[in-house]
Amino acid sequence: MNLFDLTERVAVLTGGSGTLGSAMAKGLLEAGARVCIVGRNLDKAAQVARWLSADGARTMALAADVVDREAVQRVADAVLERWGRVDVLVNAAGGNRPDATTNPNQSFFDLPAEAIRTTIDLNLLGTVLPSQIFGRAMAAAKKGSIINISSMAVPRALTRVVGYSAGKAGMENFTRWLAVYMAREVSPAVRVNAIAPGFFLADQNRAMLVDQTTGVLTPRGRSIIDHTPMGRFGEPVDLIGALLWLASDAAAFVTGVVVPVDGGFSAFSGV
């Protein structure tokens, strides 16, 4: 079990105040890490930090928009000032916009360019910038683990989510590119990988998957379950095992991979 031990290591999670981000933060904290929760809303980030650790000895909460380089740099400066190092970066910030999504009333041909652009920026640039800024600290230490959070929208074409799919696809390509760059140009001990969650109920997708009045699955939710061999949505805790593996020395010879945590969704043809 010592392979998975993160005692005294410092982990930074963008999007750490979300449903999945907060669960991953808890997993890292319980493995011994000190954890910085980064979110656009400082109050939400601070609430998660207090939930994780009432005395705040091993947690901190900071606000930043991940597509704002100066804001992310301020977070990095604060983390380095308090803890002196960054060992793990989890790029969990991401999301979608309704106007970058097709539906019966909104054709692909009418999607605003601005909506698609900002959605791609959030999911791609919002991973690149933190990787540059926190990756610099890892490069100086010649060791670290960057873990990006991808999506089933990359290996499988999902209906509706145009901008989100494009952003996450770019992010997966960037994951592999940066893994090679870090290993060859910086240090083989700076690793870059990704986790691709299947379908998890969270604030941003719950209304699309479950009828909020009856609790019954929507047609989209039913289609997802029918195409998930395990027959259920993921629970946030289901991500912890893969996360701790990639963050720790247990994955010392693993870089440039995307690990699906999806109940078999990506393996199933639907037939």
Catalytic residue set: 164
Place of tokens 């690793």: 191
Contact 121, 67 (CB under 8 A): yes
Q: How far is CA 194 from CA 23, 106, 127, 171, 240, in A?
A: 17, 32, 11, 9, 13
Mention every residue, 6+ apart, whose C-beta is less than 8 A from residue 233: 198, 199, 200, 201, 209, 224, 225
Mention every residue, 6+ apart, whose C-beta is less than 8 A from residue 206: 212
**Cross-strand partners of 200:** 234
